[in-house]
């Protein structure tokens, strides 16, 4: 379908498409198998000037918005969601600085992320704080002109690979959500180390690792925003990043549909290509309808977010739920179309199905998204 992209947007798609076809697809199975971080590919994305798509020009970025980012991510995810996640996690790590950081922090860190020279990560989750984002136990205490962090973050995407970490910690625990503050921690900071690296069902090219803060000392100026403003910064960051997860679902579903149609045209059973059977055609038709509907919703949500950045929670959660549920269904059906071959590692669809599951879980489960949508509806109808 024609989404009436501008010339610049079409160019973003073409550059991302080329990286996907020439670089990502040829090595995705190997990186998945070896659970290897896609450093070369991220560097190539940086060299193609796509690393700072969503960062303002004054900080060395392209100056685009959510929609521009979505267009690039869709292509990368068509190739591999593990690689696309590693790229997207830079944005998640950068957004707290973009949204709440001081000019000093922005001037220092954003150009490094925009050029692709440094990778970023976002550290919220802990053993006892997942959906309940305000339940974090990592602490930060001011000591002279330094903050001292103690605690452990878990399941951090780009953990161990990123250089710049946006970390939330409790500065005033008795204040609950209002007592949380965000900081920038650098990989070389004293008292900061990496813990367990997870072995995952899918997105195995992405790194998911513990971060350990043991009397980790950082300069006072690394505080993002204001003391006590961390929870709101986290919520706003997730509002910005969830359309990115949604579009990973669209790209993944498109990749699975492509594989299923090509296979169905080639595979002969009962003397005919299986695409000539109505049972297979209906499966493919539903996959195509759902993928296009998800794309249309994500594009609409991303354009809405760029135009109305203060009213984004509902649009962001709606597209995240819909597109990631579609990705799970479409990839599962792609395996069904390929049958026994689909279950084997010789074809990419089993990986696609494994990769799809996390999209319904990370950056807020789809159950949490429905809570957000419900709460927003409640507010809207009170006006």
> Can you give the binding site for ligand COS, defined by CB under 6 A?
124-125, 130-134, 177, 231-232, 235-236, 238-239, 313, 362-364, 368, 371-372
CB 158 within 8 A of CB 119: yes
The single-letter DSSP state of residue 138 is: -
Q: CA dist 345 to 46, 84, 348, 350, 351, Å?
A: 30, 20, 7, 7, 8
Q: Which is nearer to ligand COS, 296 or 361 (CB)?
A: 361
Helix (H, G, I), strand (E, B) or coil at 236: helix
Q: Which helix (H) or strand (E) holds 166?
A: strand 164-170
Active-site residues, by number, are: 363
Q: Which is nearer to ligand COS, 16 or 373 (CB)?
A: 373
Q: Which is nearer to ligand COS, 151 or 364 (CB)?
A: 364
Least separation in angstroms between CB 275 and ligand COS: 39
Least separation in angstroms between CB 47 and ligand COS: 27
The two three-digit tokens of residue 181, written as one number: 């503050």
Q: Which is nearer to ligand COS, 305 or 338 (CB)?
A: 305
Least separation in angstroms between CB 105 and ligand COS: 20
Q: How far apart are CA 254 and CA 233, in angstroms?
A: 33
CB 373 within 8 A of CB 317: yes
Task: Determine how β-strand 120-123 pairs with β-strand 164-170.
Answer: parallel
At 379, give phi and psi (nearest 5°): -65, -45
Least separation in angstroms between CB 56 and ligand COS: 21
Q: What is the largest CA-CA distance in the chain?
A: 79
The two three-digit tokens of residue 105, written as one number: 């922090």
Least separation in angstroms between CB 178 and ligand COS: 6
Q: Which is nearer to ligand COS, 119 or 263 (CB)?
A: 119
Q: Which is nearer to ligand COS, 16 or 164 (CB)?
A: 164
**CA proximity to 186, closest of 131, 136, 145, 147:** 147
Q: Which residue is nearest to ligand COS (CB)?
A: 364
Q: Which residues have a Cβ under 8 Å from the Cβ of 128 and sit 6 or more positions away?
A: 135, 137
Least separation in angstroms between CB 124 and ligand COS: 4
């Amino acid at each position: 379908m024609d989404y009436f992209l501008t010339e610049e947007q079409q160019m973003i798609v073409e550059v991302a498409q080329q990286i996907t076809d020439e670089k990502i697809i040829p090595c995705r199975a190997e990186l998945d198998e070896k659970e290897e971080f896609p450093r070369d590919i991220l560097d190539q994305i940086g060299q193609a000037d796509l690393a700072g798509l969503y960062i303002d020009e004054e900080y060395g970025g392209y100056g685009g918005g959510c929609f521009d980012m979505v267009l690039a991510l869709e292509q990368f995810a068509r190739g591999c969601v593990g690689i696309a996640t590693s790229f997207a996690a830079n944005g998640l790590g950068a957004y707290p600085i973009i949204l709440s950081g001081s000019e000093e922090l922005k001037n220092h860190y954003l150009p490094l992320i925009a050029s692709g020279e440094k990778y970023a990560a976002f550290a919220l989750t802990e053993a006892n704080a997942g959906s309940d984002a305000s339940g974090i136990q990592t602490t930060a205490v001011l000591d002279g002109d330094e903050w001292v962090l103690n605690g452990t973050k878990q399941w951090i995407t780009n953990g161990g690979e990123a250089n710049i970490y946006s970390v939330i910690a409790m500065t005033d625990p008795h204040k609950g959500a209002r007592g949380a503050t965000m900081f920038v921690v650098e990989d070389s900071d004293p008292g900061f180390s990496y813990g367990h690296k997870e072995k995952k069902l899918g997105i195995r090219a992405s790194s998911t690792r513990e971060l350990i803060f043991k009397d980790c000392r950082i300069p006072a100026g690394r505080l993002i925003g204001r003391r006590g403003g961390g929870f709101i910064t986290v919520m706003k960051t997730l509002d910005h990043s969830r359309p990115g997860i949604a579009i990973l679902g669209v790209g993944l579903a498109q990749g699975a549909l492509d594989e299923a149609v090509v296979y169905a045209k080639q595979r002969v059973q009962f003397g005919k290509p299986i695409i000539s059977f109505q049972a297979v055609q209906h499966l493919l038709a539903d996959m195509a309808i759902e993928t296009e509907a998800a794309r249309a919703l994500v594009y609409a949500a991303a354009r809405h977010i760029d135009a109305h950045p203060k009213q984004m929670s509902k649009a962001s959660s709606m597209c995240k739920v819909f597109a990631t549920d579609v990705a799970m269904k479409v990839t599962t059906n792609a395996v069904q179309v390929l049958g026994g071959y689909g279950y084997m590692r010789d074809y990419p669809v089993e990986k696609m199905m494994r990769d799809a599951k996390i999209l319904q879980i990370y950056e807020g489960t789809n159950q949490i998204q429905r809570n957000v949508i419900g709460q927003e509806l409640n507010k809207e109808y009170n006006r």
